Structure formats: C-alpha cells, structure tokens
Homo-oligomer: A and B are copies of this chain.
Amino acid sequence: MLYSTIETLKKNQLSITDSRKKILEMFVRSKGALAHADIESQSGTEFDRVTIYRTLQTFVEKGIIHTIPTADNSVRYALCKDACTEGHHRDDHVHFMCDHCGTTYCLDHVHVPKVSLPEGFTSTQMDLVVSGKCMKCNH
C-alpha cells in the first residue's frame, strides 16, 4: 500500500508543515539515498539548515527514514520500506554505494546473511555496505 506524504505524516502523528511535506516528497521521488547537503541544495533557501536537521531526526525517530552507514563515514538517509515503527527500525537489507556516480541504493530484496560470531558475542544488528559499480554506471 502507498501513502501520500500527508497521510504518512498523519499516520505518524506529525503536524503537517511545509518542510516536512517537501522533504518527505524528495525522498519519495529520489531513486537513491539523500544526504543533508542534497536536501539543502535541492530546497535552496526555502528552509533553514537547522530545520532540515530536525526534520531528518524526527523522520528517523518515527521510522519513516533510516540512516545508511557508508564506507566514507558520511551520513545518508533513505525511506524505510520495511516494517519500521517509532523507535524500532527493521532495515535488514543490504546497501550499495556506487564508486562511480556516488549514488547510494537500498537493495530492499537483498538480505544481510547470517555470520557465525566468535564464542561470547551476540548480535542485535548487522549492516552490510557493498561498494562497486551500479547498474547505470556498468552501462
């Protein structure tokens, strides 16, 4: 089922504001993940830097978007497509960063495989980030 941005905001008990509507729409339209800087440049001077930070934080807390751990330690965000809820993310899919065009993809259908940890270690979360050349850049 697909929700409009307004429906998504309502469903998460967030008040409907211009910044939230527009930023959420950017994620819906975008193929890849977005960094704070992407949102800032796409929205021009429409919103304050701080508003963007706070909007992203709120969306993460509500389980609307998730952060992506990248090899270069920059912060990127993408829509949650799994059953994420407030304070509980379930994004157990693989992420892909293209070395060539820089796009970061959620590979929603590729799951992180189990690995056997050494005696005594127990896991609650696994993040797998694959780098290489994407679909488009492999022409």
Q: Contact residues of A with B, CB < 8 Å?
A: 67, 69-71, 73-75, 94, 96, 99, 107, 109-110, 112-113, 115-136, 138
Contacts and interface: CB of A to CB of B under 8 A. Distances in A.
Contacts of A67: 73
Determine how many copies of this chain the complex contains. Answer: 2
Nearest to A108: B118
A69 B129 contact: yes
B69 A96 contact: no
Given A70-B73, A127-B130, 19 more contacts: A67-B73, A69-B70, A69-B127, A94-B115, A107-B118, A113-B113, A115-B128, A115-B130, A118-B135, A121-B130, A121-B134, A123-B130, A124-B131, A124-B132, A125-B131, A125-B132, A127-B128, A128-B128, A128-B129
Contacts of A122: 132-133, 138
